[in-house]
């Protein structure tokens, strides 16, 4: 049975796109047929951080009724399928977000998991991804403004008949001013699905157009993403061993000589 998630937030910049790219990639790695869509049609950047640009067909053309969604699906990391959005203002203006529901209906038979990256804030178009998901996942930073804005998104989701699955706390630096896991759960009134630390490798990976789980798989943030993905996939998380560097020729030679002498 397919499960449809929307990754949402209150204010912008909390890490929705980062979560969508990394969670989607890991779910595919864990064997789930996964598709991630950039439903942030006005401020799209999922394609940008995955190196998918200058594409002939994107979600813009599909939402404009000019193309089929099948023609806007591209290969992403670890076998995740990606439906990116174009960057042009004209493409945004021609998009009809009401078509999103039909697009999702077209995809449900082909995937185990569909994940939509929603627009930030509260807008008429932003409501659609909140209503058509089985579960909305809020991406929240551990500070009061982000919590208050996410609460508004939670209330809006419930008002329009949607369901909030839980929250991911992102960019946790471990400062004493930050709200902790238990406080966040109490304030938001939802289960915390995972905690992603502040990790400079996330920016480095994005600059290289690759999710951190691919580029720096043993980094602290990658391990956190893997935990959440395993939970969502319903499998037990097993720590992957760090890659053992290949032994250099001189080391092999020295070892062989040393053994020969002994
Ligand atoms: N855990 C983290 N540690 C360090 N940097 C992070 C982390 N999560 C996200 N970032 C950085 O924060 C910035 C915003 O992240 P992202 O684009 O994922 O947010 P967003 O919620 O999708 O934003 P928007 O609402 O504008 O679409 C990016 O530069 C990203 O690399």
3-261: CATH topology is Rossmann fold (3.40.50)
Q: Name the residue among 208, 245, 239 with its Cα closest to residue 222.
A: 239
Q: DSSP assignment, residue 50?
A: T
211: left (phi over 0), alpha (psi -120 to 50) or beta: beta
166 marked as part of a ligand binding site: no
- Give the pLDDT score at 247: 62
- List C-alpha distances in Å: 254 to 3, 247, 261: 55, 11, 11
- Please indicate whether residue 14, judged by its CB atom, sits closer than 6 Å to ligand 1: yes
* 164-172 vs 135-140, strand pairing mode: parallel
8 A C-beta contact, residue 211 and residue 204: no
The ranges assigned to domains in the chain are 3-261
ipTM for this model? 0.98
Q: DSSP assignment, residue 234?
A: T
The 10s digit of each residue's pLDDT in 198-257 is 999 999 999 999 999 999 999 999 999 999 999 999 998 887 755 445 566 667 667 677
Higher pLDDT, 180 or 170: 170
Q: Which two tokens stand for residue 237?
A: 């998380």
| Angle between helix 124-132 and 144-159 (nearest 10) | 70
Q: How many Å lie between the centroid of ligand 1 and the Cα of residue 111?
A: 26
Q: What are phi and psi of 72, to 5 degrees?
A: -110, 15
- Please indicate whether residue 199, judged by its CB atom, sits closer than 6 Å to ligand 1: yes
Confidence of residue 260 (pLDDT cuts 50, 70, 90): low
The 10s digit of each residue's pLDDT in 25-50 is 999 999 999 999 999 888 889 999 99
């Amino acid at each position: 049975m397919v499960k449809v998630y929307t990754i949402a937030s209150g204010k912008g910049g909390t890490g929705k796109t980062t979560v969508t790219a990394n969670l989607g990639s890991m779910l595919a790695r864990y064997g789930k047929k996964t598709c991630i869509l950039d439903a942030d049609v006005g401020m799209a950047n999922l394609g940008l951080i995955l190196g998918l640009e200058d594409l002939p067909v994107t979600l813009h053309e599909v939402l404009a009724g000019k193309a089929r969604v099948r023609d806007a699906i591209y290969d992403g990391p670890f076998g995740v399928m990606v439906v990116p959005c174009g960057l042009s203002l004209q493409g945004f203006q021609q998009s009809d977000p009401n078509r999103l529901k039909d697009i999702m209906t077209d995809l449900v038979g082909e995937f185990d998991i569909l994940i939509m990256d929603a627009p930030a804030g509260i807008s008429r178009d932003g409501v659609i991804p909140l209503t058509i998901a089985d579960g909305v996942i809020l991406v929240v930073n551990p500070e009061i403004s982000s919590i208050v804005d996410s609460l508004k998104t939670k209330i809006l989701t419930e008002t329009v008949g949607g369901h909030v699955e839980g929250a991911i706390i992102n960019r946790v630096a471990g400062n004493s001013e930050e709200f902790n896991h238990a406080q966040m759960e109490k304030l938001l009134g939802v289960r915390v699905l995972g905690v992603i630390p502040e990790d400079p490798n996330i920016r480095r990976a994005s600059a290289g157009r690759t999710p951190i789980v691919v580029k720096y798989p043993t980094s602290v943030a990658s391990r956190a993403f893997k935990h959440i993905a395993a939970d969502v996939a319903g499998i037990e998380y097993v720590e992957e061993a760090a890659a053992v560097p290949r032994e250099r020729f001189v080391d092999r030679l020295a070892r062989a000589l040393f053994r020969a002498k002994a």
